[in-house]
Structures are given as C-alpha cells and as structure tokens.
Amino acid sequence: GAVVSQHPSWVICKSGTSVKIECRSLDFQATTMFWYRQFPKQSLMLMATSNEGSKATYEQGVEKDKFLINHASLTLSTLTVTSAHPEDSSFYICSARGGLAGSRYEQYFGPGTRLTVT
Amino acid sequence: QQQVKQSPQSLIVQKGGISIINCAYENTAFDYFPWYQQFPGKGPALLIAIRPDVSEKKEGRFTISFNKSAKQFSLHIMDSQPGDSATYFCAASTGFGNEKLTFGTGTRLTIIP
C-alpha cells in the first residue's frame, strides 16, 4: 500500500516552453501533497504544500507564478513549470500524506521526474 | 531552529558491520522523526520512523535510537549489506498545523565487500 506515482519519469523540453508533471496517490486518498526539488548530491528542498481544493502554500523564494501547483482531487496533484529555463533543470519529487490508518504523519514519495531544459 | 543537522556526510562500512548515522535538532516542537533511503535516480522511501515517547524502535536490521534530552536521534543498520548502499536522510516534523518535513543534509553510505 501507500504507492505514489509520477508522470513522466523524465522529460526534455526547450527553453521557454511549459512542462506539466503529475503526481498520483494510487491506493490512498492524499489530503496533502508536497512538491520537492533536488539537485545532484543534495537534500530535498520543499517547494510547496498543497491541500486538495485549496491554493498551494509556497516556500520562501519559490516563484508561484513559475511553478503552478494544482491539487484538484484527493489522488492527483500537478506541477507545471512555466516558461522553463535551463536553470529549472532538476529532479522534482512529490510526496503524499493522509488517509491511511495510523499514518497521519507519514509521507510517501513518488519516484521523481527528471526535467532537462535545453 | 528549523534545521536538522546530519552526520557524517559520507560513510564507508564493511559488509556485515554496523552503519551509524546521526542527526540533531533544535526545535523542541518536532514530534515525528522518520528516516528515508534514496537510491540514485529514485524518490526517497520511508525506512523507519519514531515518535519522542519511545527511546528506540527496531524494524529488522534497522534501529532508531532517540535521545529526547540531547535532541538527537540516530539510525543503526545492523549486518550492513551491499544492497544498503544508498543515501540516507533523517527528517523531522511537527504534527500540529504545519506538518512539512525538515530534512537533514543526507549521508551517502557505501558498503564494501
């Protein structure tokens, strides 16, 4: 149980285009989803927290107009990188929490999406 | 106050040995301490987690030791195997209101034959 999927697993796009990444909780309802960014050999950096049906809460320094997050249902959240630039190239990981008995605190992570902007 | 300090940055252990990774925190409001394992190109996977009402939790070869007064917790991997070679992250969060995880900086563990 507690499986989170991400799609696509990797994507290459040209500078100036937009890319959408999907995060799905497959076997539980995720009341809260989180989006992280990870640079090579570094820790995870939280970008934003989203609750189903609410606007996402962005961490300080994260441009909300550039990284659009939508949490339209209890099993799906999307991250859209708008007008992508090479510096947006990174590993994007989502996590989901909620719904399972006794797992109020536990976050389950997706496999990540490697974004390369050329 | 929100930081979680993790050490060492990298660790090499012989197969069959004990791997020990340490974390320290300042925020006394933290009440949930998970450890994650991450392989290259993959998302982190929850290994084991502890609440501050217990001093130790064991699951298979993995043990968390928790010292509330010292605000420290550690991960012990017994009988370390080459398949345990990965990056390990400790984390902490509060269970009330803002429940985002604060991650440590990570430890790259290598198990050598």
Give how far Cα A11 sits from Cα of A89, A117, B42, Å.
10, 8, 15
Among A46, A93, A112, beta carbon nearest to B100: A46
pLDDT tens by residue, chain B, 113 residues: 568 999 999 999 999 999 999 999 999 989 889 999 999 999 999 999 998 889 999 999 999 999 999 999 999 999 999 999 999 999 999 874 347 899 999 999 999 99
pLDDT at A74: 87
CA-to-CA distance for A88 and A45, rounded, in angstroms?
Answer: 13
More confident of the two residues A51 and A37? A37
Alpha carbon of B77: minimum distance to chain A alpha carbons (Å): 21
pLDDT at B5: 97
Is A101's pLDDT higher than 70? no
Give how far Cα B86 sits from Cα of B19, B42, B51, Å.
12, 10, 24
- Is the link from the previous residue into B82 a cis peptide, with omega within 30 of 0? no
Among B43, B46, B100, beta carbon nearest to A106: B46
Among A32, A97, A111, beta carbon nearest to B42: A111
Query: Which range (A25-39, A80-94, B48-62, B89-103) has the least confidence?
Result: B89-103
Q: Is A90 helix (H, G, I), strand (E, B) or coil?
A: strand
Burial of B106 per CB tally in 10 Å (0-12, 13-18, 19+): buried
A108 Cβ under 8 Å from any chain B Cβ: yes
Q: Mark yes or no for CB contact B101/A104 under 8 Å.
A: no
The token duo for A41 is 């050999």
Alpha carbon of A51: minimum distance to chain B alpha carbons (Å): 12
pLDDT at B97: 36
